[in-house]
Amino acid sequence: MLKIDNLTAEIAGKQILNGLTLEVKAGEVHAIMGPNGAGKSTLSYVLGGRPEYEVTGGSVEFMGQDLLDLEPHERAAAGLFLGFQYPVEIPGVSNVQFLREALNAQRKGRGEEPLSGGDFLKLAKEKAALLKLDMEMLKRQVNVGFSGGEKKRAEMVQMGILDPKFAVLDETDSGLDIDALRVVGDGINAIMRDPAKGVLLITHYQRLLDVVRPDKVSILAAGRIVQTGGPELALRLESEGYDAVMEEA
Ligand code: ADP
Ligand code: MG
Ligand code: MG
């Protein structure tokens, strides 16, 4: 589904991704772990098409298309979803408005009719229930005054509504207490565990991987993938730390 080959990218003239190569097949959850500053968020922004990030080399193929050739909204319409490490607040815009606009913009991008207000609310209620988020939260302004955990849950409601083919989730577990972690992890499984979908799951913690069980685990360090393995690699990182495992690699 996603084929990243020798990708290099920079921000503010500083090279962050240094020849990153990674492949995710349909049906796979691929966890990315790695030290702070390694370039994990940079990778997710580059995949999403954030303009400040300049791709200087390499290629990214997404379901047979040249991803880097597409505008961010075209990437979304093609089925790519990006979950932010730090979800942004949008004062003056309610979640319901935001989510309905986002969904209908994507449907339009795919040549589909917009969803009616009634059908949209039904869908939103179903996904909010899945993430155990009170519908009242969705009437509030996007992320304004939300706790860390509420932001992440609202973002997973967004993912449920948009129903992407591929999700890049950047530290979705940060700021979650143990119960919220379970709810969010179960939500990711319910929405994205599908033979036709793929997930790039960026995390520091085994506790999320206990719920969303990865098929593969890669270590990203200094802007490239330095090691790939199965779920056991995450367990080794948890017990031995990045330095010990990477030294051996
Ligand atoms: P990670 O998510 O793995 O912790 P990031 O991708 O956020 O790492 O950051 C990688 C590197 O890029 C860091 O050294 C960070 O300081 C640098 N960086 C990120 N954004 C900017 C920016 N706007 N200007 C300069 N450097 C940046
Ligand atoms: Mg970080
Ligand atoms: Mg980060």
Query: Residue of the nearest CA to atom 21 in ligand 1?
Result: 11
Please state, in angstroms and rounded to a whole number, the distance separating the CA atoms of residues 249 and 110: 44
Q: Two tokens at 208? A: 């999320």
CA of 73 to the centre of ligand 3 (A): 22
CB 69 within 8 A of CB 26: no
Instruction: Write the CB contacts of 237 (distance below 8 Å, at least 6 apart in sequence).
Output: 33, 217, 219, 245
Q: Which pLDDT tens digits describe the chain residue by residue (249 residues)?
A: 999 999 999 999 999 999 999 999 999 999 999 999 999 999 999 999 999 999 999 999 999 999 999 999 999 999 999 998 888 999 999 999 999 999 999 999 889 999 999 999 999 999 999 999 999 999 999 999 998 889 999 999 999 999 999 999 999 988 888 888 999 999 999 999 999 999 999 998 899 999 999 999 999 999 999 999 999 999 999 899 888 888 876
Query: Residue of the nearest CA to atom 7 in ligand 1?
Result: 41
Q: What is the pTM of this model?
A: 0.95
Please state, in angstroms and rounded to a whole number, the distance separating the CA atoms of residues 33 and 203: 6
Q: What is the largest CA-CA distance in the chain?
A: 57
CA of 40 to the centre of ligand 2 (A): 7
Give per-residue pLDDT as tens, 17-31: 999 999 999 999 999
Give per-residue pLDDT as tens, 105-131: 999 988 999 999 999 999 999 999 999
Question: 195 vs 26, 62, 167, 198, 199, CA distance in Å?
Answer: 6, 16, 14, 8, 11
CA of 125 to the centre of ligand 1 (A): 37
User: What region, left, alpha or beta, does residue 12 occupy, with left being phi > 0 and alpha being psi -120 to 50 degrees?
Assistant: left
Instruction: Write the CB contacts of 226 (distance below 8 Å, at least 6 apart in sequence).
Output: 219, 220, 246, 249
2-248 CATH, one of 3.30.70.870, 1.10.3720.10, 3.40.605.10, 3.40.50.300: 3.40.50.300
CA of 222 to the centre of ligand 3 (A): 13
Ligand index nearest the alpha carbon of residue 35: 1
Ligand 1-lining residues (CB < 6 angstroms): 11-12, 14, 16, 34, 36-42
